[in-house]
Chain A
Amino acid sequence: MQISRQKKMEMLRSLLLSRRFEEELTELCKIEHKIPGMMILCTGQEAVGAGVCAALQPEDVIVTNHRSHSHLLAKGADPNALMAEILGKRTGCNKGKSGTLHMAVPEVNALCTTTVVGGGPPIAVGIGFAQQYRQEERVTVCFIGDGAANEGSVHEALNLASVWALPVIFVCENNRYAGAQRYEEHTKAPNIADRAAGYAIPGVVVDGNDALAVYRSALDARARAVNGDGPTLIEYKTYRWRGHGEADCQLYQPKDEIAAWQAMCPIPKLRGDMLAQGVISEDELREMETRIDAVVKDAVRFAEKSPYPEPNEALEDVFAGS
């Protein structure tokens, strides 16, 4: 399948934006009290969000988890609003209620983010059901980690989605770790995708650092879903460069393993392809990078100069109209 220049540019932009955004967060985390709470980054895994979201229409829905930055940015969320939310500001996409972990951006159909591991898939079933019920040609993508796949809720969701042929794409980002636990310590089966057989749905394993491969597999799953053929379980093999949170020293993660995966970084891969095939020129690339750098710096400036919420704004939003 030929992938258009426009799609490739979109994915490259998305990869670069997510990387720059998170590099900035790594720096901000070094400044005391700048960022409240935890900071969980997807650095190194950006090709999954970029490739999957490039295969979606704006009206398609995503449900994401604690490692959401690249998913949200790739779906088109406003970097200013995300950055402000992460810094706990009133101008954040969720008025400071969420912080980095559960940012919901319904404006771009990122309808739900849950940081309860395994909480996403049953919700995605509900959204997929609504899409099927209204006979929309829409799909719902649910991002989970390899660790999440061991929650019972994920099994229940996969089974129900399969039985009812719901338009849901279950995306497992296998980044080799769940907290401090290596994949082999929490799962015996070599692939999470192998479980699909138990639900009689397709299970595919894809190189999660290859944005174009990610894109193609997501496009296939989308076609199946809108045809009424039901869900797909896609497992993207990728790697977590940073710890489970910026306070994690990654003592359990071998240094040479990190280095080996860094050598397979998704950005040079796509960029190299595009340069070699003349899809993008060096000049265009530099210009794209400069623009993205400005977008991220603006987001930080915007977030920093935004006010914190007033304390009693904590009382708002518990119920509709409160």
Chain B
Amino acid sequence: MQSFGMGQAINQALREEMLRDAGVFLAGEGVGVGIHSSPMLPTAGLLDAFGAGRVKDTPVSEAAIAGLAVGASVAGLRPVVEIMFNPFFTLASDMIVNHAAKLRYLSGGKSAFPLVVRIKSGAGFGAGCQHSHNLEAWAAHCPGLKVVMPSTPADAKGLLKSAIRDPDPVVFIEDMMLYFVPGPVPETDYLIPIGQADVKRQGNDVTVVTWSKMVGVALKAADQIAREGIDLEVVDLRTLVPMDKKTLIESVRKTGRLVVLHEATRTGGFAGEVAAVVMEAAFDHLKAPLRRVTGPDIPVPASPPLERFYIPSEDDLIAAVKEIVR
């Protein structure tokens, strides 16, 4: 099987969907000509392949980029637009939150907004908090938006293809560090359904629910702590909205213990939602209080030791696990 990072997997999904459906087009700052020409990046080479009619480099204008997606989708196209870094979602958010997410409902179901907003996200590149801010919980809190956060190249390809074919607005959040982590990617045209979690590791003692880059942290922690005889089950949520409650609850019922892990800050973070779902549906199965392992409630700082402090680590997860298996 072919093997490459998530950047190339996304590239392949975009390429295949553009070939399949003439209504699919791309827009965003630097989606055609970027400052980096690495083939590992999501839109590399697509301008050459599809031309400037379908791969639109835009001015620095997030509101217009998002509005373009809203208007083009209701008019029958399939826009895939890019927001360069997650914090700039705030500039696009009027169009996405107040329009894309609400206008189907307001029209009594008559209008459709089949658009994808790809957002590059994640801490770890030393740029500071105006470039690094995980905002998935904001998007998830907004009814009418689907929210996808893949952790592997294969998942990214299958989920992005589903997102592009989805009849509703999808916020597709990509952790930039994953662009460079290789993994197997099927060559076939395959879809991963939106709303289906994936058990990335089977285990019996503690369920770790996580997504995106933190799945890798959870798997490494699981290997380490297995040597001490503690068996983690790692559930990759993959889609925050709609959430696959069934897989989540089955896992917690099996293990009786839950840790939720995400990079975003804690207060109001999506871990709270996962925890509440489990408490409502599987309280009786819990043998210990659940734990959250998240970024602290601070903006992401730039200096290396400060940024490392921010990002949850294997050690943080292991410590939380040990608190509830004792």
Write the residues of chain A forming the contact surface with B, with a CB cutoff of 8 angstroms.
33, 36-38, 88-90, 92, 95-102, 114-118, 147-148, 150-153, 178-181, 185-187, 243-245, 247-249, 251-252, 308-315, 318
Contacts and interface: CB of A to CB of B under 8 A. Distances in A.
A210 B297 CA distance: 47
A315 B309 CA distance: 9
A115 B29 contact: no
A100 B131 CA distance: 12
B150 to A, nearest CB: 25
Nearest to B308: A311
Given A314-B310, A315-B298, A309 B305 contact: yes
Nearest to A186: B59
A116 B33 contact: no
A100 B127 CA distance: 8
A204 to B, nearest CB: 23
Interface in B27-43: 29-30, 33-37
Contacts of B61: 150-152
B35 to A, nearest CB: 4
B59 A311 contact: no
B324 interface: no
Contacts of A114: 130
A20 B322 CA distance: 53
Given A102-B128, A179-B34, A308 B304 contact: yes
Contacts of A152: 61, 63-64
B60 A117 contact: yes
B304 A88 contact: yes
B308 to A, nearest CB: 7
B57 A96 contact: no
B163 to A, nearest CB: 25
A88 B303 contact: yes
B91 interface: yes
Contact of B126 (A36, A97, A153): A36
A45 B84 CA distance: 25
B127 A38 contact: yes
A99 B130 contact: no
B33 A181 contact: yes
Contact of A97 (B30, B36, B131, B306): B306
Q: Which secondary structure dominates where chain A touches chain B?
A: loop
Interface in B9-24: none
Contacts of A97: 128, 299, 301-303, 306
Interface string B84-115: 00011001000000000000000000000000
B33 A252 contact: yes
B140 to A, nearest CB: 23
Contacts, number: 134
Contacts of B33: 180-181, 252
A116 B88 CA distance: 7
Contact of A99 (B34, B64, B128): B128
Contact of B302 (A96, A248, A315): A96
Interface residues of B, number: 38
A101 B60 contact: no
B195 interface: no
Interface of B: 29-30, 33-37, 57-64, 87-88, 91, 125-128, 130-131, 296-299, 301-310
A38 B306 CA distance: 16
Contacts of A102: 128, 130
Given A117-B60, A152-B61, A245 B306 contact: no
Q: Which secondary structure dominates where chain B touches chain A?
A: loop
A181 B303 contact: no
A249 B168 CA distance: 38
Contacts of B307: 36, 314
Contacts of A36: 126, 302-304, 307
B128 A311 contact: no
B306 A101 contact: no
A136 to B, nearest CB: 29
A148 to B, nearest CB: 6
Contacts of B296: 314-315
B305 A99 contact: no
A314 B301 CA distance: 7
Nearest to A118: B60
Contact of B309 (A101, A147, A187, A312): A312
Given A101-B130, A115-B130, A248-B35, A96 B60 contact: no
Contact of B130 (A116, A151, A186, A312): A116
Nearest to B302: A99
A244 B87 CA distance: 19
A151 B91 contact: yes
A118 B64 CA distance: 14
Contact of A249 (B37, B88, B130, B298): B37
A132 B153 CA distance: 55
12 contacts: A36-B303, A38-B125, A88-B304, A96-B306, A114-B130, A179-B30, A180-B57, A247-B35, A308-B303, A309-B305, A313-B306, A315-B298
Nearest to A243: B35
Contact of B128 (A37, A178, A310): A37
A310 B305 contact: yes
A181 B304 contact: no
Given A147-B60, A252-B33, A318 B128 contact: no
A248 B36 CA distance: 6
A37 B126 contact: yes
B35 A37 contact: no
Contacts of A148: 60
Nearest to B90: A116
Contacts of B130: 101-102, 114-116
A310 B305 CA distance: 7
B30 A251 contact: no
A116 B61 CA distance: 11
Nearest to A38: B127
